[in-house]
């Protein structure tokens, strides 16, 4: 499985609409799982009016397809990787 970020532009959305989107994404976990895709979390950047959702899946097309099939907006799907950050020691 690979990691992907789904970028969603939320220009003009209210805080309530953004909250509903994040909740709906989390509630579709079973639908995603049936397609071999797992939602790992959401990050909302209100100042930039963007939501970034992290997914694990077989490929970018599968991640995009299951999001669209779930009625979720998809502006871009980007391959991603994570890095561990060690806390600063004083």
At 33-59, the pLDDT tens digits run 888 999 998 999 999 999 999 999 999
Q: What is the CATH number of the domain that holds 48?
A: 3.30.70.3090
Which domain, by its residues, includes 64?
2-80
Please, are residues 7 and 50 in contact by the beta-carbon 8 Å criterion? yes
Q: pLDDT band for 86, please (50, 70, 90 cuts).
A: low
Please check whether residue 85 lies inside any domain of the structure.
Answer: no
Number of domains forming the structure of the chain: 1
Please check whether residue 66 lies inside any domain of the structure.
Answer: yes
Please check whether residue 87 lies inside any domain of the structure.
Answer: no
* Mean pLDDT across the chain: 89
4 burial level (CB within 10 Å; 0-12, 13-18, 19+): buried
């Amino acid at each position: 499985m690979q990691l992907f970020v789904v970028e969603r532009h939320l220009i003009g959305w209210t805080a309530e609409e953004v909250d509903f989107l994040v909740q709906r994404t989390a509630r579709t976990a079973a639908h995603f799982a049936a397609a071999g895709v797992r939602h790992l979390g959401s990050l909302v950047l209100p100042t930039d009016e963007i939501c970034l959702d992290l997914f694990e899946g077989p490929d970018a097309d599968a991640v995009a397809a299951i999001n669209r099939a779930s009625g979720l907006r998809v502006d871009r799907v980007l391959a991603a990787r994570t890095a561990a950050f060690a806390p600063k020691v004083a």
